[in-house]
Structure 1
């Protein structure tokens, strides 16, 4: 207790200079010595940091990330330090925490550092009650999140719709859960991947402004895709870079953009690849098309290699 008492007697600027060199784990341990000290931790510019979690609680600073396993419940815990963009351990820290409840630790981190939770991957270590509790805490403090990934939890769709009305996902939304056809979502992140996308209908598609969309088990038909792609040909959807849709309602009858189905170049196929939203996207065996303004795109439509009896369309806009 000697150090915190000495700290409290210093001018604010001096306290800030002492705190700034400390890493997040040192600051968290210090924050538990007294309430007065915990209220000063933000002077280390901790509001610039970000917190994310899946099976780890991760604190992201400018250079390093600090990773703590969610299921670890001892009163002292090992925290792995990694350099941003690298998973190799650069060091270890010891965090002391009085409670076995990992959610209370998340709340303490946010309250003390005054930073945002930017990414959540629910993983398989979180139930819906935990998820709802965390989201209520987040929504009381912020209106946006960069990334949300929902694995097959026992989700309450009404509660989830309410969450989506209160918080905007700006970068990436990934949903593995199977919703009812009545499920409604009106957000517009840059990247979406929906495994069971039967509820994502024509209106969702036509209203989207995404950079990339991947929709599996889709209820969309050839006619719907034609409507969307014709609008793209007319200059709409300037953000679109990658579209992949597969489902049982797609077939090889008729044409897409006037091209006979299936759409596959065998003799001289185009293979295009790019990293989009942190994921490598490819389009193999595609046919090149051009919009009237000269923008190139590559289209491929054939049987899905991932889902039996599904037809898959891939549309790749060259940027």
Structure 2
């Protein structure tokens, strides 16, 4: 994503441009700006005479008197400034870590008063990706005696953002909307319409904007953290992604962004914000914590797999406690050495709990309250009483025996497990001689292809070759026992 900073600059020359002075003054202003904000160091600009032809061509298209603006065209940034019929144009290009600039002054009237502006991308921002969104950042005060507002015309992109005037902090300019001058209540009314990417970028405009964000909360975002896909989603519309640094060669144009105290190469591509880290999972964890601090958000789900470091997952979960968030809709745990009991006792999972790894420390006789529970390595579960509050239960690699199923069925028929709609248990201890009271057959003896299906939550549950059964109160259900697989299924 291209981020521009329009900086006031003294007049370079009234006749012929002093090339070295032009370059030195722009570099000096950029350096002072960086030091003031404690930002990353910028590469110095280098003058390139060949770019003057590009500028002259641009001036010719506007008859020598362009309107003041910052424009993105042909993978270059044109900065134009006109006052009292005189204009000076700067051209900045960035390629593979190099910054080049050219300066040309034109006159289109007798009353000459020139204000020079130089577009200076912070942290060597990349202007060349047309698909990425652009943000024009706030004009900052400099040594020039006059100040002229700058409007922006950004390249089109699918990531919609607020216009540059929203980020204006030049209080002496009456033509632009002064966002930072708004009181907290009014600023909140503006920020609540922004996307997560807008708020993230606004936090990088200056220390003052970052401080205001902590005082003025954005709208409430719904966040999903997925270690399996290396993504953080906001309202299912914007995604922050963590890539390994060796993927950077595919994205030549990137910028630096702060995640806490860390500065990381970052690009904006369509509705994706991609950052490059030495370790993808720890990077994703740092992104998650930082974004949760600057954005007003509620974490809906955290998903992990066997590749996820235990420490990264645990720190993300501990951060929820720090935010005083005691519940989460979905949790998928795939790490091997996590303390499962500590996790389940620390946070309530309301909708979906998936446990896909084998744990050395398991919760024992823990009572589950999630609507849907899936446990892959469920050897430590010896009865089904702990699932009496659940709607869907799916167990594999368990040690459930025939007697456990018989006990469960008797309690269910008598009125227990009132919430249960789906049960699937796979165990080596389920033998072919399983018998249930009042059920002569545990599968359809004539047609194993006929299915019963039902939408339960987000899942379509189907059972093939089942036999109909009834609770004592008349509630219908279907069950099937796969004796060769040792799998018992029940759809209610």
Q: Assess, with a 3 A threshold, how the Cα gap between structure 1 residues 4 and 162 changes in structure 2: closer, same or farther.
A: farther
Cross-structure match for 1:218: 398
Alignment of 1:198-277 (within 5 A): 198-202=379-383, 204-206=384-386, 208-260=388-440, 263-267=442-446, 270-277=450-457
Give me the TM-score of the superposition, normalised by structure 2.
0.55
Cross-structure match for 1:76: 266
RMSD of aligned residue pairs (Cα, Å): 2.7
Deviation, structure 1 residue 95: 6.3
Alpha-carbon distance between aligned partners in 2 of 1:59 and 1:174, rounded to the nearest angstrom: 19
Q: Does 1:28 align with 2:193?
A: no
Alpha-carbon distance between aligned partners in 1 of 2:192 and 2:274, rounded to the nearest angstrom: 18
1:173 partner SS: strand
Q: Assess, with a 3 A threshold, how the Cα gap between structure 1 residues 34 and 123 changes in structure 2: closer, same or farther.
A: farther
Of 311, 319, 323, the residue aligned with 1:129 is 311
| Segment drifting more, 115-124 vs 34-43 | 34-43
Deviation, structure 1 residue 106: 0.9
Cross-structure match for 1:82: none
1:46 partner SS: coil
Alpha-carbon distance between aligned partners in 1 of 2:287 and 2:362, rounded to the nearest angstrom: 36
Deviation, structure 1 residue 26: 1.4
Cross-structure match for 1:195: 376
Alpha-carbon distance between aligned partners in 2 of 1:289 and 1:205, rounded to the nearest angstrom: 21
Cross-structure match for 2:231: 57
Deviation, structure 1 residue 268: 5.1
Give me the TM-score of the superposition, normalised by structure 1.
0.82
Alpha-carbon distance between aligned partners in 2 of 1:191 and 1:250, rounded to the nearest angstrom: 23
Q: Which has the larger radius of gyration?
A: 2
Deviation, structure 1 residue 124: 4.9
Deviation, structure 1 residue 78: 3.7
Would you say the 8 A contact 1:57–1:106 is kept in 2? no
Would you say the 8 A contact 2:388–2:419 is kept in 1? no
Of 270, 285, 296, the residue aligned with 1:114 is 296
In structure 1, runs of 5+ residues without a counterpart are: 80-90, 305-309
Alpha-carbon distance between aligned partners in 2 of 1:275 and 1:211, rounded to the nearest angstrom: 12
1:110 partner SS: helix
Of 155, 174, 180, the residue aligned with 1:8 is 180
Alignment of 1:63-102 (within 5 A): 64-72=236-244, 75-78=265-268, 91-94=270-273, 101-102=283-284
Alpha-carbon distance between aligned partners in 2 of 1:15 and 1:274, rounded to the nearest angstrom: 48
Deviation, structure 1 residue 242: 0.3
2:409 partner SS: helix
Alpha-carbon distance between aligned partners in 1 of 2:322 and 2:199, rounded to the nearest angstrom: 24
Alpha-carbon distance between aligned partners in 2 of 1:181 and 1:113, rounded to the nearest angstrom: 35
Alpha-carbon distance between aligned partners in 2 of 1:186 and 1:70, rounded to the nearest angstrom: 35
Deviation, structure 1 residue 36: 4.0
Deviation, structure 1 residue 272: 1.0
Q: Does 1:177 align with 2:319?
A: no
Deviation, structure 1 residue 167: 0.7
Alpha-carbon distance between aligned partners in 2 of 1:97 and 1:217, rounded to the nearest angstrom: 38
Alpha-carbon distance between aligned partners in 2 of 1:19 and 1:108, rounded to the nearest angstrom: 18
Alpha-carbon distance between aligned partners in 1 of 2:221 and 2:381, rounded to the nearest angstrom: 36
Deviation, structure 1 residue 286: 0.2
